[in-house]
Amino acid sequence: MLLSNLDLLATAPGGVARLRELILTLAVQGKLVPQDPADEPAGVLLQKIRAEKDRLIAEGKIKRDKPLAEIGEEEKPFGLPVGWEWVRLGAVVNASEAGWSPTCIGSPRRPGHWGVLKVSAVSWGSFDPTANKELPSELTPKPEYEVKDGDFLLSRANTAELVARSVVVGVAEPQLMLSDKIIRLSVSSQMNRAFLNMVNNANYSREHYAANASGTSSSMKNVSREVVLALPVPLPPLAEQSRIVTRVEALMRLCDALEAKGQLEAAQHAQLVSTLLGTLTASTTPEELAANWQRVAQHFDLLLDRLEAIDALEQTLLQLAVRGLLVPQDPQDEPASQLLVRLRRDRATWLATRASTDSECRATIKKLRDLPDADNPFSIPSGWQFVRLLDCCRLLVDCHNKTAPYAAAGIPIIRTSNIRDGRFRMDDLRYVTEETYDFWSRRCPPEPGDIMFTREAPMGEAAIIPPGAKYCLGQRTMLVRPMHEFIDKEYLLLALTEPHLLERAAPSAIGSTVKHLRVGDVEGLTIPLPPLAEQSRIVTRVTALRRLCADLRQRLAERQSVQARLAQALVASVA
């Protein structure tokens, strides 16, 4: 009882309904599944639909509708992916018909009797055959209006909130007829009617019908057949329609489960968060990202009500940062290609002056000479360039591969357990003497501004040595010394800690029990490099967004504290 009350307090009002709306919005905008360039474009699909309609008209099976007006730019509520087209609903349905309007008084039909559907039989994606009135015995049924399996039905009259909602009937019950307030749309065989149903029930369609509905009553509105057929429809390739339907149906099943349980279970919540945050990483321009961000931001109270969801958001921000989507590009910035020319020239001079006395410099010169060109794992903006990690650095040095002799006090030695989430953890520190430090650091003494990177246990953690700190490089860590004049160390840290970097590096990891990266694997990590000025802008933007994540965590902690106090009060009330 107490836990049930707490669950109710923790659940946002109408939360699952809002998630359903968001899923549909993403679906009809082409943001829920990836596009496949091999798909037949919607323009070709539209030609097939028109040919089918012309054939049916010639055969006398349907009548020719009035010409549909062109869709003006002001009617298009959002942009479409490549391969999609805007069309009127009337262009992709072959016919429409309303039902019968006999006078029916009384209760729903009895077994073996005919019934006429009420407008409430059709709601969002839901068909209720029990919402009917029995046909009076003195009237003869009209089987041509009988509801059939797979019918696409739309309720022309309903409350302002439900008007023009539609449903695809699964297996129809026999002896049920359409009323004159319900339209049956004959969908082209070239269309996926389930996708068309999603489009009709999306938020932008609701706005179309609300703006064009008639009726003086505030509780009941009507839309004409012409208004229905005039609905602008975003038309994807047929194959993509099927992929969208499959994805939406899976997510709606999750929403069904959430609704049934009255709360967002952890695994289901994670899937929804992953899908919705995935729309951010699918953005192709900063402008598109801004629009997607605003859409997801409206649902922060639902999506980010768990610490793991906020963590997922922060990881998403890192992915966006290194793909050039968090800040706009400035054509006045020096391109990364020119930046690299200057960086390499400066480093070559620096290494050459020290090579005769410093074996580490000699080794670096050889490694740079043999370093392969960087691969191109994803798209980056013009002016950016992919580069190997070693090519970003003045030096990149591995640790002394033995466990250091610890001392009771002295210089902190940073082990892999002391680096988490881009920061040093100063609890459970170990120390070494000055003598041990000198020996363990002889290849390259760590300096403030250097980055420590873990190769194992776990691999891929990194942090920047802060000003005034003197640390010793622990086992299974590496020292990254950036070319500070050319590489913003904070940006490099972002690039080293974004989650996809490890995904790309994972196939190279070795070890039967604990996976680890070899030194050469770390040296060869592929880093997306923006212009220097843009590096700084990205760091500033990520810092601000991370403050937002910190604020969200704080709010969540405060809410959980309130819930704990409520729990105590509930316990006290029944004690």
Spell out the domain ranges in the chain.
1-30+238-331+537-575, 40-236, 336-530
Q: Is pLDDT of 569 > 90?
A: no
Supply the CATH classification number for the domain 336-530.
3.90.220.20
Q: Which of 437, 446, 383 is nearest to 410 (CA)?
A: 437
The tokens 């500070």 sit on which residue?
484
Max intra-chain CA distance, the chain: 110
Q: Count of CB atoms within 10 A of residue 472's CB? A: 27
pLDDT > 90 in the chain, percent:
43
Structure tokens at 560: 């959980």
Q: Is pLDDT of 4 > 60?
A: no
> Of the ranges 106-115, 481-490, 513-522, which one carries the lowest mean pLDDT score?
513-522
The tokens 């349907």 sit on which residue?
62
Q: Which of 183, 167, 192, 195 is nearest to 227 (CA)?
A: 183
Tell me if domain 40-236 and domain 336-530 are identical in fold: yes
Q: Which of 181, 183, 182, 177 is nearest to 134 (CA)?
A: 177
Which one is predicted more confidently, 270 or 132? 132
Which one is predicted more confidently, 294 or 534? 534
Q: Is pLDDT of 45 > 60?
A: yes
Q: Is pLDDT of 337 > 50?
A: yes
Report whether the peptide linkage leading into residue 458 is cis, meaning its omega lies within 30 degrees of zero.
yes
Q: Is pLDDT of 330 > 70?
A: yes
> Of the ranges 270-274, 305-309, 346-350, 439-443, which one carries the lowest mean pLDDT score?
270-274
Q: Is pLDDT of 267 > 80?
A: no
Q: How far is CA 309 from CA 6, 262, 267, 498, 500, in A?
A: 20, 19, 11, 16, 17
Structure tokens at 75: 């009617």
Question: How are beta strands 472-473 and 221-222 bridged, if at all?
Answer: unpaired
pLDDT > 70 in the chain, percent:
88
256-265 average pLDDT score: 63
Structure tokens at 379: 């798209």
Question: How are beta strands 122-123 and 459-464 bridged, if at all?
Answer: unpaired
β-sheet bridge partners, residue 433: none
What pLDDT, on a 0 to 100 scale, did the predictor assign at position 155? 86
543-556 average pLDDT score: 86
Q: Is pLDDT of 572 > 70?
A: no
Position 570 confidence tier, pLDDT thresholds 50, 70, 90? very low
CA-CA distance, 186 to 64, in Å (whole number)?
A: 13
Contact at 8 Å (CB) between 90 and 46? Answer: no
Q: Is pLDDT of 1 > 80?
A: no
Containing 77, the helix (H) or strand (E) segment is none
Question: For 422-432, what is each residue's pLDDT tens digit?
Answer: 999 988 899 99
Containing 397, the helix (H) or strand (E) segment is strand 393-398
CA-CA distance, 292 to 280, in Å (whole number)?
A: 6
Mean of the per-residue pLDDT values of the chain: 85
Q: Which of 467, 464, 402 is nearest to 439 (CA)?
A: 402
pTM exceeds 0.85 for this model: no
CA-CA distance, 501 to 76, in Å (whole number)?
A: 38
Which one is predicted more confidently, 324 or 253? 324
CA-CA distance, 182 to 179, in Å (whole number)?
A: 6
> Of the ranges 50-54, 160-164, 450-454, which one carries the lowest mean pLDDT score?
160-164
Tell me, what DSSP letter sits at residue 343? H
What pLDDT, on a 0 to 100 scale, did the predictor assign at position 384? 97
Question: For 196-207, what is each residue's pLDDT tens digit?
Answer: 999 998 989 888
Structure tokens at 275: 């899908």
Instruction: Output the 3-class SS for 439-475.
Output: HHCCCCCCCCCCEEEEEECCEEEEEECCCCCCCEECC
CA-CA distance, 444 to 6, in Å (whole number)?
A: 56
Q: Around 75, how many Cα atoms within 13 Å sit in the side-chain half-sphere?
A: 17
What pLDDT, on a 0 to 100 scale, did the predictor assign at position 121? 86
Q: Which of 1, 4, 43, 9 is nearest to 565 (CA)?
A: 9
Backbone φ and ψ of 495, nearest 5°: -65, -30
Which one is predicted more confidently, 466 or 140? 466
Per CATH, the homologous superfamily of domain 40-236 is: DNA methylase specificity domains (3.90.220.20)
Contact at 8 Å (CB) between 333 and 385? Answer: no
Contact at 8 Å (CB) between 443 and 466? Answer: no
CA-CA distance, 568 to 503, in Å (whole number)?
A: 44
228-239 average pLDDT score: 93
